[in-house]
Structure 1
Amino acid sequence: MSKEDTSLRFRQFEADDAPVVYSFCLQLIFKQSCWQLRKKTMLNRGWMISAVTASVLLAIGLSWPVTLITSLLCTYLLIWISHTAYSYYLRHNRYQDLCSTAAFVARWCSGGQDRLFVATLEDGTVIASSGIVHQDIDTCELVRVATEESYQRKGVGRALMKYVLRQSTSFGYKTVVLKTSDVQTEAQRLYETSGFSLSKIYTVGRGIMTVYYYKLNLTDH
């Protein structure tokens, strides 16, 4: 499937799409991205936690093999707990529409200025999503950019994004903004090759995660 595949269809999200779209949005945000973040933290900070744990265990007289295994297990457990808690916080605060399929439908079928779009195959199977959230009269934010796993890296997300950007222009928006994290490298490449430029970078959690803000001027696109 190429990025210009004419078998793709684009339309606005409907309530019946919720189970499928909710599932792959959840997969992208809370499984793929959070797992990448967890691995990054293990590499960046795991050694420090392991060293402290090992020092304590050796001080109380445990052998080196037991100390090594125990410290590694404790390190992974602590990081797993912290990121599980972070995922829970995101779902119930920043991503409230991903608390349940009912919340997802309520969020995107409310009839307001925020809109979610989907890409489908000819048979109607929904395989990708991308939405826009109203910021002000000239600006909207690109959100819920997700593709079903078996259709990733096949140009589906890029094709849907082009459609959503055209829709944004037709709604009168002049600027599209978005944010992503340092662990979502494929998303960064997609945005940069689609014309978005990096506008701001900041870190959260003392360097645990870096957030990238992107911006696209629709009048130049």
Structure 2
Amino acid sequence: MNIRQYQQIDQDAVWALHKAALHGTGADLEDGHWDADLFQIEQVYLDNQGEFLVGEIEDRIVAMGAIRRISETRSEIKRMRVHPGFQKRGLGQMILSHLEARAVALGYQTLQLDTTTLQIAAQRLYRKNGFTQLEKTETINGLTVLLFEKKLHFS
């Protein structure tokens, strides 16, 4: 898989991947304000000390993930998606590893993220990569959201 930074031309493919991946887990909500960042990727991520990566196989975007700045020392993993037809191949791990390396390069000390109770594979991926589930949970539009955090180590 070729991993590269998002470009404006990727907008439609990113949206389609987002919807397909969430639909595959049962966590797809109707479109709403919570999806606004996907129509402002440059402003929300790239122009704000963050990152947005896409993974391509044969010129098709099949994976993606982002880092969003929270504070000077803290960032958040967002929009981790792998197309259902390409799951269980390590693509999510590849995107997550690239994002974590980028967070370190940007000087962040802590990564946080959230996922729903429906997204079991995502929970396993995050735990395997050293993320700790926090006690606090949230409920958003009927979905229970789990919060995770990881302290980054600089080499």
Shorter-normalised TM range: 0.7 to 0.9
Q: 1:220 to 1:191 in 2, by over 3 A?
A: farther
User: Residues 216, 124 of structure 1: CA spacing in aligned structure 2 closer, same or farther, 3 A cutoff?
Assistant: same
Greater radius of gyration (CA)? 1
Counterpart pick for 2:104 among 163, 166, 169? 169
Tell me, yes or no, if structure 1 residue 115 matches structure 2 residue 51.
Answer: yes
2:84 corresponds to which of 145, 149, 152: 149
State TM-score, norm by structure 1. Answer: 0.62
- Unmatched runs of 5 consecutive residues or more in structure 2: none
- In the alignment, is the contact (CA less than 8 A) between 1:201 and 1:210 conserved in 2? no
Judging by fraction of residues, say which structure has more strand: 2
Matching of residue 192 in structure 1 with residue 132 in structure 2 = no
Q: Is it true that 1:15 corresponds to 2:8 in the alignment?
A: yes
| 1:28 Cα deviation from its structure 2 partner | 2.4
Deviation at 1:220, TM superposition (A): 7.0
Give me the whole-angstrom Cα distance separating, in 2, the residues matched to 1:201 and 1:145: 21
Is 1:209 aligned to residue 149 of structure 2? no
Are the structure 2 counterparts of residues 36 and 172 from structure 1 closer, same or farther at C-alpha, using a change threshold of 3 Å? closer
Q: Which residue of 2 aligns with 1:41?
A: none
Q: Report the TM-score, using the length of structure 2 for normalisation.
A: 0.86
RMSD: 2.2
The equivalent of 1:83 in structure 2 is none
Q: Secondary structure, in 3 states, of the residue corresponding to 2:47?
A: coil
The answer for the alignment partner of 1:78 in structure 2 is none
Divergent runs of 4+, >4 A: none
**Number of equivalenced pairs:** 151
> How far off is 1:129 after superposition?
0.3
Which protein has the bigger helix share? 1
Name the residue aligned to 1:32: 24
Distance 2:68 2:136 in 1: 21
For 2:53, give the aligned amino acid: F
| Contact 1:199-1:215 within 8 A present in 2 as well | yes
Post-superposition offset of 1:118: 1.1
Could you tell me which residue of structure 2 aligns to residue 92 of structure 1? Answer: 32
Provide structure 1 residue ranges, at least 5 long, that are not aligned to the other structure: 1-7, 38-86, 99-103
Query: Displacement, 1:160?
Result: 1.2
1:109 CA drift (Å): 2.3
Indicate conservation of the 8 Å contact 1:178/1:213, yes or no: yes
**8 A contact 1:135–1:141 mirrored in 2:** yes
How far, CA to CA, are the matches of 2:32 and 2:13 in structure 1? 20
